[in-house]
């Protein structure tokens, strides 16, 4: 589709879209982005089921073509998910990249083309309402055995849905599947060729994309209506997979990015650095969570780091007494934390060893306790209706009572392994496994 045609469609759609107030009213009752309404893992109005298995409380179960670890998002009567489908079309050997990651590649690029696909499913039935091939291409890198080419979760502002396939492009569709715009931000060179994963973040008319890798890293904010760049800043960072978070604070929209060298808060409107703090580990994956003027940033590969940082800060906080509190153990590698009320839940590395802290003080409420029935997990915990849901890689979900001491309410097993994080809306849980997408509800 020609660029002029895409922009014409965008202009036409903008004339008929719902006002921003409608989105604000619906946001808390949907799961419109990675980590839910407030990007903290909590569904404030949901009351999902406590028990299920392959024959109980399964409203529908749909096979998703290809593979991907991206999480589903839900907006009213639609469910969106991204996937990468390997074709049988052979690829010619690609030239070696001009830049290789330190230590070289531990993976090999694929030998076939992939289709990068966005699907919209009917929330009631699981029927595919539309399916779009964003592009068909040969990835220039391989990926970690537990990773893939569709790991960034889509997001929506209630008017459009935005899907990032990283090096394969950023795509914007209307809710009926019409392509509005697309952008190519170049190729990432990831650590050891392990792949890409940070999700795009929408806030009003701004779409933020984190591009930390082994080449020239940057943060770019696009106009959500057109895909054109609003601003772009260079970053002195290596590969990370952390999705940024946006918080409105005292008239300023802060875009907070957690990475290996430092956490940085940018002014979303200008790209100006507001404050920063060092101290994270390498390979940062968990996304920050925010509440009551504090952002909590953590990482857990080859060490542990958890910092409670004030949003009203300025300058460099590294090693200063302006850090509210910090912790150096028991933090997650892949899963992001859950901030439920003033309770900060997280697991040790990729293991089902649970710690819960008082977010105000950092005081342990639950410390280093194994979650019965779980071994390892990549999915991030979610919370609703006084319950906390932890999903293991083998397809087992353990439901805990929100609070202390640790109390198991249910242990639920599905036949499909699960690495993607759940979405909770109303009385339903949406779980994306290796092969199937489940809608669970009573």
pLDDT tens-digit readout, 379-401: 999 999 999 999 999 999 999 99
Kind of pairing between the strands at 217-223 and 206-211: antiparallel
* Tens of pLDDT, residues 143-166: 999 999 999 999 999 999 999 999
pTM of the model: 0.94
Rounded distance, CA 281 to CA 13, Å? 44
Using pLDDT thresholds of 50, 70 and 90, give the confidence band for residue 23. Answer: confident
The CB-side HSE value for 41 (13 A sphere, CA atoms) comes to 29
Name the average pLDDT for the chain. Answer: 94
pLDDT average, residue stretch 114-132 = 98
DSSP letter at 349 equals B
What dihedral angle (degrees, nearest 10) is formed by the CA atoms of 297, 364, 35, 215? 30
Q: What is the pLDDT of residue 14?
A: 43
**Quick check: do 1-30+80-198 and 205-329 share a fold?**
yes
For the chain, what are the domain ranges? 1-30+80-198, 49-69+337-442, 205-329
| pLDDT (0 to 100) of residue 230 | 98
**CATH 2.70.170.10 matches 49-69+337-442:** no
For strands 273-278 and 315-316, give the pairing: parallel
- Which pLDDT does position 178 carry in this prediction? 98
Does residue 17 carry a pLDDT above 70? no
Closest CA to 298 of 268, 326, 267: 326
Q: Is 6 helix (H, G, I), strand (E, B) or coil?
A: helix
Residue 213: pLDDT band by 50, 70, 90 thresholds? very high
Give domain 205-329's CATH number out of 3.40.50.2300, 3.40.50.150, 2.40.128.630, 3.40.630.70: 2.40.128.630
CATH no. for 1-30+80-198:
2.40.128
pLDDT of 22: 76
Q: Contact at 8 Å (CB) between 72 and 391? A: no
C-alpha span between 401 and 168 (Å, rounded): 41
Q: Is the dihedral of CA 354, 348, 32, 26 positive or negative?
A: positive
């Amino acid at each position: 589709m020609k660029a002029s045609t895409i922009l014409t469609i965008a202009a036409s759609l903008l004339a008929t879209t719902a006002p921003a107030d409608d989105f604000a009213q619906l946001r808390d009752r949907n799961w419109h982005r990675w980590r839910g309404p407030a990007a903290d893992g909590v569904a404030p109005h949901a009351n999902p089921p406590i028990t299920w298995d392959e024959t109980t409380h399964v409203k529908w179960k749909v096979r998703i073509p290809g593979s991907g670890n991206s999480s589903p998002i839900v907006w009213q009567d639609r469910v969106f998910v991204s996937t990468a489908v390997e074709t049988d079309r052979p690829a010619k050997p690609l030239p070696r990249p001009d830049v290789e990651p330190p230590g070289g590649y531990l993976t090999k690029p694929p030998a076939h083309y992939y289709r990068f696909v966005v699907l919209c499913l009917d929330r009631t039935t699981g029927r595919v309402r539309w399916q779009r091939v964003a592009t068909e291409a040969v990835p220039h890198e391989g990926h970690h055995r537990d990773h893939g080419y569709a790991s960034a979760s889509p997001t929506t502002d209630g008017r459009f849905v935005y899907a990032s396939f990283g090096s394969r492009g950023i795509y914007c569709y209307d809710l009926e599947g019409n392509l509005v715009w697309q952008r190519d931000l170049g190729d990432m060179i990831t650590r050891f060729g392990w792949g890409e994963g940070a999700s795009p973040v929408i806030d009003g008319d701004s779409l933020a994309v984190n591009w930390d890798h082994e080449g020239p890293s940057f943060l770019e904010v696009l106009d959500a209506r057109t895909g054109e760049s609003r601003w772009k800043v260079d970053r002195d960072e290596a590969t990370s997979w952390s999705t940024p978070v946006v918080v409105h604070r005292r008239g300023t929209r802060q875009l907070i990015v957690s990475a290996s060298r430092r956490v940085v808060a940018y002014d979303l409107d200008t790209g100006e650095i507001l404050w920063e703090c060092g101290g994270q580990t390498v390979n940062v994956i968990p996304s920050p969570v925010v509440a009551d003027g504090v952002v909590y940033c953590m990482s857990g590969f080859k060490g542990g780091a958890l910092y409670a940082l004030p949003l009203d800060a300025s300058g460099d906080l590294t090693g200063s007494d302006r850090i509210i509190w910090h912790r150096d153990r028991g933090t997650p590698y892949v899963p992001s934390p859950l901030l439920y009320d003033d309770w900060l839940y997280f697991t040790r590395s990729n293991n089902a060893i649970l710690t819960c802290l008082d977010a105000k003080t950092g005081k342990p409420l639950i410390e280093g306790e194994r979650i019965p029935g779980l071994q390892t997990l990549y999915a991030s915990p979610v919370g609703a209706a006084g319950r906390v849901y932890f999903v293991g890689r083998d397809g087992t979900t353990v439901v805990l009572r929100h609070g202390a001491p640790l109390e198991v309410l249910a242990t639920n097993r599905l036949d499909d392994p699960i690495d993607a994080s759940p979405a909770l809306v109303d009385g339903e849980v949406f779980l994306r496994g290796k092969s199937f997408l489940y809608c669970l509800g009573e």
